[in-house]
Protein backbone atom coordinates (compact mmCIF):
# COMPACT_ATOMS: atom_id res chain seq x y z
CA UNK A 1 0.00 0.00 0.00
CA UNK A 2 1.35 3.41 -0.92
CA UNK A 3 1.86 6.13 1.63
CA UNK A 4 -1.03 8.55 1.31
CA UNK A 5 1.18 11.56 1.87
CA UNK A 6 3.28 10.70 -1.18
CA UNK A 7 0.31 9.96 -3.45
CA UNK A 8 -1.32 13.39 -3.47
CA UNK A 9 1.11 15.29 -5.67
CA UNK A 10 1.57 12.76 -8.50
CA UNK A 11 -2.14 12.10 -8.81
CA UNK A 12 -3.52 15.62 -8.45
CA UNK A 13 -0.57 17.61 -9.78
CA UNK A 14 -0.64 20.22 -7.00
CA UNK A 15 3.11 20.85 -7.08
CA UNK A 16 4.03 24.13 -8.71
CA UNK A 17 1.82 26.08 -11.13
CA UNK A 18 1.61 26.33 -14.86
CA UNK A 19 2.48 29.64 -16.49
CA UNK A 20 0.35 28.79 -19.49
CA UNK A 21 -2.83 30.85 -19.87
CA UNK A 22 -5.58 28.42 -20.72
CA UNK A 23 -8.29 31.06 -20.71
CA UNK A 24 -11.22 31.58 -18.37
CA UNK A 25 -12.65 28.78 -16.25
CA UNK A 26 -15.84 27.66 -17.92
CA UNK A 27 -18.55 25.74 -16.05
CA UNK A 28 -17.50 22.58 -17.86
CA UNK A 29 -13.90 23.07 -16.88
CA UNK A 30 -14.90 23.87 -13.30
CA UNK A 31 -16.89 20.63 -13.17
CA UNK A 32 -13.96 18.72 -14.58
CA UNK A 33 -11.62 20.29 -12.02
CA UNK A 34 -13.83 19.39 -9.08
CA UNK A 35 -14.33 15.88 -10.44
CA UNK A 36 -10.56 15.40 -10.55
CA UNK A 37 -10.21 16.97 -7.10
CA UNK A 38 -12.82 14.62 -5.66
CA UNK A 39 -11.05 11.68 -7.24
CA UNK A 40 -7.76 12.82 -5.72
CA UNK A 41 -9.31 13.09 -2.29
CA UNK A 42 -10.75 9.60 -2.60
CA UNK A 43 -7.48 8.14 -3.79
CA UNK A 44 -5.21 10.00 -1.39
CA UNK A 45 -7.10 10.68 1.81
CA UNK A 46 -9.25 7.59 2.23
CA UNK A 47 -6.34 5.12 2.39
CA UNK A 48 -4.60 7.30 4.98
CA UNK A 49 -7.67 7.31 7.21
CA UNK A 50 -8.71 3.71 6.75
CA UNK A 51 -5.65 1.69 5.89
CA UNK A 52 -2.25 3.32 5.91
CA UNK A 53 -2.06 3.15 9.70
CA UNK A 54 -2.27 -0.64 9.53
CA UNK A 55 1.17 -1.20 8.02
CA UNK A 56 3.13 -3.39 10.41
CA UNK A 57 6.85 -2.73 9.89
CA UNK A 58 8.96 -5.77 10.69
CA UNK A 59 12.18 -3.77 10.36
CA UNK A 60 11.07 -1.72 13.37
CA UNK A 61 10.06 -4.86 15.25
CA UNK A 62 13.39 -6.47 14.41
CA UNK A 63 15.30 -3.51 15.85
CA UNK A 64 13.28 -3.80 19.07
CA UNK A 65 14.10 -7.51 19.18
CA UNK A 66 17.78 -6.82 18.62
CA UNK A 67 17.84 -4.29 21.45
CA UNK A 68 16.04 -6.61 23.87
CA UNK A 69 18.30 -9.57 23.11
CA UNK A 70 21.35 -7.34 23.57
CA UNK A 71 20.30 -6.83 27.20
CA UNK A 72 20.92 -10.54 27.75
CA UNK A 73 18.90 -13.02 29.84
CA UNK A 74 15.81 -11.30 31.25
CA UNK A 75 14.21 -13.56 33.87
CA UNK A 76 11.56 -12.20 36.21
CA UNK A 77 12.96 -10.20 39.10
CA UNK A 78 16.32 -9.52 37.48
CA UNK A 79 18.05 -6.21 36.84
CA UNK A 80 18.00 -7.11 33.15
CA UNK A 81 14.21 -7.38 32.97
CA UNK A 82 14.02 -3.91 34.52
CA UNK A 83 16.20 -2.73 31.65
CA UNK A 84 13.76 -4.37 29.26
CA UNK A 85 10.88 -2.58 30.98
CA UNK A 86 12.66 0.75 30.64
CA UNK A 87 13.21 0.08 26.95
CA UNK A 88 9.55 -0.86 26.39
CA UNK A 89 8.32 2.21 28.30
CA UNK A 90 10.53 4.53 26.29
CA UNK A 91 9.54 3.09 22.92
CA UNK A 92 5.85 3.37 23.71
CA UNK A 93 6.25 6.88 25.14
CA UNK A 94 8.03 7.92 21.94
CA UNK A 95 4.91 7.03 19.90
CA UNK A 96 2.56 8.66 22.39
CA UNK A 97 1.38 5.55 24.24
CA UNK A 98 2.06 5.94 27.96
CA UNK A 99 2.36 2.74 29.96
CA UNK A 100 0.65 1.75 33.20
CA UNK A 101 2.19 -0.82 35.54
CA UNK A 102 0.78 -3.70 37.53
CA UNK A 103 3.47 -4.53 40.07
CA UNK A 104 3.30 -7.16 42.80
CA UNK A 105 5.47 -9.50 44.84
CA UNK A 106 4.97 -13.07 43.68
CA UNK A 107 5.72 -16.13 45.79
CA UNK A 108 7.18 -18.90 43.62
CA UNK A 109 8.41 -22.39 44.56
CA UNK A 110 11.96 -21.08 44.95
CA UNK A 111 11.71 -17.40 45.91
CA UNK A 112 9.64 -14.23 46.14
CA UNK A 113 9.92 -12.18 42.96
CA UNK A 114 8.85 -8.67 42.07
CA UNK A 115 6.86 -8.96 38.87
CA UNK A 116 5.46 -6.21 36.67
CA UNK A 117 2.91 -6.29 33.87
CA UNK A 118 2.97 -3.32 31.48
CA UNK A 119 -0.23 -2.05 29.86
CA UNK A 120 -0.60 0.44 27.02
CA UNK A 121 -4.21 1.49 26.39
CA UNK A 122 -5.18 2.59 22.88
CA UNK A 123 -8.49 4.45 22.60
CA UNK A 124 -11.47 3.02 20.77
CA UNK A 125 -15.06 3.91 20.00
CA UNK A 126 -16.25 1.59 22.76
CA UNK A 127 -14.95 1.17 26.29
CA UNK A 128 -14.99 -2.62 26.04
CA UNK A 129 -11.52 -3.98 25.46
CA UNK A 130 -9.66 -6.28 23.15
CA UNK A 131 -6.44 -7.29 24.88
CA UNK A 132 -3.44 -8.24 22.75
CA UNK A 133 -0.60 -9.57 24.83
CA UNK A 134 2.53 -11.65 25.20
CA UNK A 135 5.27 -12.25 27.73
CA UNK A 136 8.55 -10.35 27.92
CA UNK A 137 10.37 -12.41 30.56
CA UNK A 138 12.84 -15.18 29.68
CA UNK A 139 13.27 -18.57 31.30
CA UNK A 140 15.62 -18.65 34.29
CA UNK A 141 18.67 -20.80 33.52
CA UNK A 142 21.85 -20.85 35.55
CA UNK A 143 23.67 -23.53 33.57
CA UNK A 144 23.76 -21.57 30.28
CA UNK A 145 23.05 -18.13 28.85
CA UNK A 146 19.46 -17.96 27.60
CA UNK A 147 18.51 -14.74 25.77
CA UNK A 148 15.11 -15.92 24.48
CA UNK A 149 15.11 -14.30 21.05
CA UNK A 150 11.87 -16.03 20.08
CA UNK A 151 10.71 -17.10 23.53
CA UNK A 152 10.08 -13.79 25.28
CA UNK A 153 11.86 -11.47 22.87
CA UNK A 154 9.76 -11.84 19.73
CA UNK A 155 6.45 -11.24 21.51
CA UNK A 156 7.72 -8.12 23.29
CA UNK A 157 9.25 -6.66 20.13
CA UNK A 158 6.11 -7.46 18.16
CA UNK A 159 3.85 -5.73 20.69
CA UNK A 160 5.95 -2.56 20.72
CA UNK A 161 5.54 -2.24 16.96
CA UNK A 162 1.86 -3.22 17.09
CA UNK A 163 1.19 -0.41 19.57
CA UNK A 164 2.66 2.06 17.08
CA UNK A 165 0.53 0.63 14.29
CA UNK A 166 -2.75 0.70 16.20
CA UNK A 167 -2.34 3.90 18.23
CA UNK A 168 -3.92 6.23 15.67
CA UNK A 169 -6.21 3.67 14.08
CA UNK A 170 -9.96 4.17 14.42
CA UNK A 171 -10.38 1.21 16.76
CA UNK A 172 -13.93 -0.03 17.23
CA UNK A 173 -13.00 -1.22 20.73
CA UNK A 174 -10.44 0.02 23.21
CA UNK A 175 -7.27 -2.00 22.70
CA UNK A 176 -4.87 -2.91 25.45
CA UNK A 177 -1.33 -3.94 24.56
CA UNK A 178 -0.29 -6.16 27.45
CA UNK A 179 3.30 -7.10 28.27
CA UNK A 180 3.15 -10.03 30.68
CA UNK A 181 5.77 -10.85 33.28
CA UNK A 182 6.24 -14.29 34.79
CA UNK A 183 5.04 -16.57 32.02
CA UNK A 184 8.00 -18.86 32.50
CA UNK A 185 8.25 -21.40 35.31
CA UNK A 186 10.87 -20.70 37.96
CA UNK A 187 11.56 -24.42 38.37
CA UNK A 188 13.20 -26.28 35.48
CA UNK A 189 9.94 -27.87 34.34
CA UNK A 190 6.52 -26.36 33.64
CA UNK A 191 3.90 -27.61 36.07
CA UNK A 192 1.15 -26.72 38.50
CA UNK A 193 0.92 -22.99 39.16
CA UNK A 194 4.60 -22.31 38.59
CA UNK A 195 3.93 -20.42 35.35
CA UNK A 196 1.60 -17.79 33.82
CA UNK A 197 2.03 -15.58 36.88
CA UNK A 198 1.44 -12.35 34.97
CA UNK A 199 -1.67 -13.43 33.10
CA UNK A 200 -3.22 -14.87 36.26
CA UNK A 201 -2.49 -11.64 38.12
CA UNK A 202 -3.98 -9.53 35.33
CA UNK A 203 -7.19 -11.56 35.23
CA UNK A 204 -7.56 -11.57 39.03
CA UNK A 205 -6.98 -7.82 39.17
CA UNK A 206 -9.70 -7.32 36.57
CA UNK A 207 -12.01 -9.66 38.46
CA UNK A 208 -11.48 -7.77 41.72
CA UNK A 209 -12.18 -4.47 39.98
CA UNK A 210 -15.34 -5.84 38.37
CA UNK A 211 -13.79 -5.22 34.95
CA UNK A 212 -13.81 -8.74 33.51
CA UNK A 213 -17.03 -8.16 31.51
CA UNK A 214 -15.32 -5.32 29.63
CA UNK A 215 -12.66 -7.70 28.22
CA UNK A 216 -14.25 -9.06 25.07
CA UNK A 217 -11.30 -11.01 23.62
CA UNK A 218 -7.68 -11.88 24.29
CA UNK A 219 -5.13 -12.42 21.53
CA UNK A 220 -1.85 -13.94 22.66
CA UNK A 221 1.39 -13.95 20.68
CA UNK A 222 4.26 -16.15 21.81
CA UNK A 223 7.37 -17.54 20.13
CA UNK A 224 6.57 -16.01 16.74
CA UNK A 225 10.15 -15.37 15.58
CA UNK A 226 11.07 -18.84 14.30
CA UNK A 227 12.85 -18.64 10.92
CA UNK A 228 10.91 -21.72 9.86
CA UNK A 229 7.55 -20.39 11.01
CA UNK A 230 4.73 -22.93 11.37
CA UNK A 231 1.82 -21.84 13.57
CA UNK A 232 -0.68 -24.58 14.39
CA UNK A 233 -4.22 -24.12 15.62
CA UNK A 234 -4.35 -24.45 19.39
CA UNK A 235 -7.25 -26.63 20.48
CA UNK A 236 -7.44 -24.85 23.85
CA UNK A 237 -8.20 -21.58 22.05
CA UNK A 238 -11.70 -20.30 21.23
CA UNK A 239 -12.68 -21.82 17.84
CA UNK A 240 -14.40 -18.78 16.28
CA UNK A 241 -11.51 -16.49 17.20
CA UNK A 242 -8.99 -18.96 15.82
CA UNK A 243 -11.05 -19.27 12.63
CA UNK A 244 -10.99 -15.51 12.05
CA UNK A 245 -7.21 -15.28 12.44
CA UNK A 246 -6.57 -18.26 10.16
CA UNK A 247 -9.06 -16.96 7.57
CA UNK A 248 -7.32 -13.57 7.52
CA UNK A 249 -3.95 -15.29 7.09
CA UNK A 250 -5.36 -17.28 4.18
CA UNK A 251 -6.67 -14.12 2.51
CA UNK A 252 -3.19 -12.61 2.77
CA UNK A 253 -1.62 -15.71 1.24
CA UNK A 254 0.00 -16.70 4.54
CA UNK A 255 -1.57 -20.14 4.96
CA UNK A 256 1.80 -21.88 4.63
CA UNK A 257 2.71 -20.23 7.95
CA UNK A 258 -0.71 -20.53 9.62
CA UNK A 259 -1.20 -24.21 8.96
CA UNK A 260 -4.26 -26.38 9.44
CA UNK A 261 -2.73 -28.90 11.83
CA UNK A 262 -3.73 -28.70 15.50
CA UNK A 263 -1.91 -28.86 18.81
CA UNK A 264 -2.81 -28.21 22.43
CA UNK A 265 -0.92 -25.45 24.24
CA UNK A 266 -0.74 -24.35 27.86
CA UNK A 267 0.11 -20.70 27.86
CA UNK A 268 -0.90 -17.24 29.07
CA UNK A 269 -4.32 -17.52 27.43
CA UNK A 270 -5.54 -20.17 29.87
CA UNK A 271 -6.41 -17.76 32.73
CA UNK A 272 -8.45 -15.67 30.27
CA UNK A 273 -10.25 -18.76 28.97
CA UNK A 274 -10.97 -19.86 32.54
CA UNK A 275 -12.58 -16.45 33.13
CA UNK A 276 -14.86 -16.95 30.12
CA UNK A 277 -13.00 -14.60 27.78
CA UNK A 278 -12.64 -15.71 24.13
CA UNK A 279 -8.93 -16.21 23.53
CA UNK A 280 -6.51 -17.38 20.86
CA UNK A 281 -2.85 -18.34 21.14
CA UNK A 282 -0.67 -17.54 18.13
CA UNK A 283 2.43 -19.60 18.83
CA UNK A 284 5.05 -21.68 17.02
CA UNK A 285 6.07 -24.44 19.40
CA UNK A 286 7.86 -26.44 16.69
CA UNK A 287 11.11 -24.61 17.42
CA UNK A 288 14.36 -26.53 17.80
CA UNK A 289 16.02 -23.74 19.79
CA UNK A 290 13.26 -23.66 22.43
CA UNK A 291 14.75 -23.40 25.93
CA UNK A 292 18.30 -23.88 24.65
CA UNK A 293 21.29 -21.54 24.31
CA UNK A 294 20.52 -21.44 20.59
CA UNK A 295 17.42 -19.24 20.95
CA UNK A 296 19.36 -16.29 19.56
CA UNK A 297 18.94 -13.84 16.69
CA UNK A 298 20.39 -16.43 14.31
CA UNK A 299 17.34 -18.64 14.87
CA UNK A 300 14.69 -15.97 14.20
CA UNK A 301 13.74 -13.67 11.34
CA UNK A 302 12.04 -10.35 10.66
CA UNK A 303 9.97 -12.08 7.98
CA UNK A 304 8.22 -14.20 10.61
CA UNK A 305 7.33 -11.09 12.61
CA UNK A 306 5.93 -9.55 9.42
CA UNK A 307 3.80 -12.62 8.71
CA UNK A 308 2.16 -12.47 12.12
CA UNK A 309 1.78 -8.70 11.93
CA UNK A 310 0.06 -8.91 8.55
CA UNK A 311 -2.26 -11.71 9.66
CA UNK A 312 -3.25 -10.07 12.94
CA UNK A 313 -3.91 -6.61 11.50
CA UNK A 314 -5.97 -8.24 8.73
CA UNK A 315 -8.00 -10.22 11.27
CA UNK A 316 -8.65 -7.34 13.65
CA UNK A 317 -11.56 -5.73 11.70
CA UNK A 318 -13.28 -9.14 11.49
CA UNK A 319 -12.79 -9.69 15.22
CA UNK A 320 -14.23 -6.27 15.98
CA UNK A 321 -17.21 -6.91 13.71
CA UNK A 322 -17.93 -10.23 15.42
CA UNK A 323 -17.74 -8.68 18.89
CA UNK A 324 -19.95 -5.75 17.88
CA UNK A 325 -22.91 -8.01 17.01
In angstroms, the CA 65 to CA 318 distance is 28
* Same-domain pairing of 127 and 243: yes
* Same-domain pairing of 123 and 60: yes
Residue 128 belongs to a domain with what CATH number?
3.40.630.10
**pLDDT band at 54, cuts 50/70/90?**
low
Mean pLDDT of 220-234: 98
* Same-domain pairing of 125 and 249: yes
Number of domains in the chain: 2
**pLDDT band at 115, cuts 50/70/90?**
very high
Q: Is the pLDDT of residue 21 over 60?
A: no
Cβ pair 176, 124 in contact under 8 A? no
Stronger pLDDT, 13 or 264, i.e. the higher one = 264
* Same-domain pairing of 300 and 176: yes
Cβ pair 64, 161 in contact under 8 A? yes
Mean pLDDT of 220-248: 98
User: Over pLDDT 70: what percentage of the chain?
Assistant: 83
- State whether residue 239 is helix, strand or coil: helix
* Same-domain pairing of 270 and 146: yes
pLDDT digits (tens, 9 = 90+) for 276-315: 999 999 999 999 999 999 999 999 999 999 999 999 999 9
* Same-domain pairing of 112 and 20: no
* Same-domain pairing of 261 and 203: yes
* Same-domain pairing of 307 and 241: yes
- Mean pLDDT is highest, among 16-20, 52-56, 248-252, for 248-252
Q: Interhelix angle for 302-323 vs 239-251, to 10°? A: 120
What's the distance, CA 95 to chain centroid?
15
* Same-domain pairing of 139 and 153: yes
pLDDT digits (tens, 9 = 90+) for 126-140: 999 999 999 999 999
pTM over 0.75: yes
Q: Is the pLDDT of residue 142 over 90?
A: yes
* Same-domain pairing of 77 and 37: no
* Same-domain pairing of 95 and 12: no
| Closest C-alpha among 101, 123, 159, 192 to residue 282 | 159
Range of the domain at 181: 55-323
In angstroms, the CA 195 to CA 307 distance is 28
> Which residues are CB-contacts of 273 (< 8 A; sequence separation ≥ 6)?
236, 237, 238, 279
* Same-domain pairing of 156 and 183: yes
Amino acid sequence: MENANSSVDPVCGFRGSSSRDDGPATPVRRAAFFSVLALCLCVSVAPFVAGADLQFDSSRAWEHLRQLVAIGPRPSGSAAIEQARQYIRKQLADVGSPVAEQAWDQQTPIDTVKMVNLVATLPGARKERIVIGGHYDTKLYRQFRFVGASDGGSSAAFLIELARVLKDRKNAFTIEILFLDGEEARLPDWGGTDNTYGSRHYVETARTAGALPTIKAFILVDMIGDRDLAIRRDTNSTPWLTDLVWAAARRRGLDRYFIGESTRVEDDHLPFLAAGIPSVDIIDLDYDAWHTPNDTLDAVSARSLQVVGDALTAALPDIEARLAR
